[in-house]
């Protein structure tokens, strides 16, 4: 039994005529409608209608089925209406620390193009976001580019300078900018390589170019723990400039002279994946503001 059988049955019951129901209700040929009713009766093993010269009336089993059929069809129609009126859900991945700068603009663009939209956010390192995007667990992600994922497109939208973060009362905080030589001999706090592989790779390459490895003295799990270690050790941390919006008052940021190249931020998505929201994703990618730095205020 299919839903169309129930719709045809109710239409005939309401009209009392196969020809009238076929013409005015279900818009199908009369022979086809008669065949569908016969199929329904055969499947149920009962006679649903008494056929007369001037029309059709329901049998006792037909009257019993009519009440249930109306209830089933109403529940289906209510479910369809609820789904159609529910807001679109966009699953977005963001590198930790960029949420406050990205989400307001994302919501503005999403509502502009799709009206009521719900945003579900996953805050994780780039490698995790790229994997979630590949696995279709995300619709788009603000992440570092990955050359290994050929099914994804990475649209550049911003670049983050690597800066020095030190305790305000530390001697390293006195000059407005610091060089590589200024950092040598001080405790170096680094974020875990698994969490920030792009950052660690850029800093390591920068050190090798100066024929001196910049080996971490302490390794932090994330930005927050890096700040905690900087305050506890009077050392320094090298992190993207957007971390300035997250640092406690005891920490200050200093520009890094002749530092590593900026870290590229991209808007990543699956351009070939079939998706009911693909037009929205295309619009967000097309209209997202391109900047030289992160869109975080004050960074």
Q: Give residue limits of the domains in the chain.
A: 3-85, 88-159+264-287, 162-261
- The CA distance from 272 to 149, in Å, is 13
Q: Is 162-261 in the same CATH topology as 88-159+264-287?
A: yes
Q: Which two tokens stand for residue 224?
A: 């927050």
- DSSP state letters, 262-274: PEEEEEEE-TTS-
What CATH number should be reported for the domain whose range is 162-261? 3.40.190.290
Kind of pairing between the strands at 153-160 and 55-58: unpaired
At residue 152, the 3 state secondary structure works out as coil
**HEC readout, 172-196:** HHCCCEECHHHHCCCCEEEECCCCC
What CATH number should be reported for the domain whose range is 3-85? 1.10.10.10
pTM: 0.66
Is the domain defined by 88-159+264-287 classed in CATH 3.40.50.620?
no
Q: Give 83: exposed, middle or buried? Use CB within 10 Å, 0-12, 13-18, 19+.
A: exposed
Q: Give 211: exposed, middle or buried? Use CB within 10 Å, 0-12, 13-18, 19+.
A: exposed
Q: Return per-residue pLDDT of the chain as tens, 299 residues.
A: 788 888 888 888 888 888 888 777 777 788 888 888 888 888 989 998 888 877 788 889 989 988 898 898 888 887 777 666 667 788 999 998 899 889 999 999 988 888 778 889 999 988 899 989 888 899 999 999 887 766 789 999 999 999 999 999 999 999 999 998 898 889 999 998 888 888 988 988 888 887 666 788 999 998 999 999 999 998 999 999 999 988 999 999 999 998 899 999 999 998 876 666 788 888 898 999 887 544 433 33
Q: Helices 278-287 and 99-114: crossing angle, nearest 10°?
A: 120
Q: Helices 126-134 and 197-209: crossing angle, nearest 10°?
A: 130
Phi, psi angles (nearest 5°) of residue 98: -100, 0
C-alpha closest to that of 74 among 10, 28, 13: 10
């Amino acid at each position: 039994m299919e839903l169309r059988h129930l719709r045809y049955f109710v239409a005939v019951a309401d009209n009392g005529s196969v020809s009238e129901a076929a013409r005015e209700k279900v818009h199908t040929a009369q022979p086809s409608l008669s065949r569908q009713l016969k199929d329904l009766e055969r499947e149920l093993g009962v006679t649903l209608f008494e056929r007369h010269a001037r029309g059709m009336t329901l049998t006792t089993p037909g009257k019993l089925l009519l009440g249930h059929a109306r209830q089933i069809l109403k529940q289906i129609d209510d479910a369809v209406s609820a789904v159609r009126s529910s807001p679109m859900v966009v699953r977005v991945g963001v590198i930790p620390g960029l949420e406050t700068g990205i989400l307001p603009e994302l919501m503005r663009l999403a509502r502009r193009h799709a009206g009521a939209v719900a945003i579900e956010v996953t805050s994780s390192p780039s490698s995790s976001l790229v994997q979630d995007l590949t696995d279709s667990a995300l619709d788009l992600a603000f992440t570092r580019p990955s050359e290994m994922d050929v099914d994804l497109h990475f649209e550049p939208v911003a670049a983050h300078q690597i800066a020095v973060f030190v305790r305000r009362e530390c001697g390293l905080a006195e000059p407005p900018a610091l060089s590589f030589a200024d950092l040598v001999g001080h405790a170096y706090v680094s974020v875990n390589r698994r969490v920030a592989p792009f950052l660690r790779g850029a800093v390591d390459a920068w050190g090798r170019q100066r024929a001196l490895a910049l080996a971490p003295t302490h390794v932090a799990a994330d930005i927050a723990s890096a700040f905690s270690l900087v305050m506890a050790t009077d050392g320094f941390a090298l992190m993207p400039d957007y971390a300035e919006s997250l640092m406690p008052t005891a920490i200050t940021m200093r520009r890094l002279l002749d530092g590593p190249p900026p870290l590229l931020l991209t808007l990543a998505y699956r351009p070939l994946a079939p998706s009911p929201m693909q037009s929205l994703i295309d619009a967000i990618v097309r209209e997202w503001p391109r900047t030289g730095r992160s869109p975080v205020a004050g960074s």
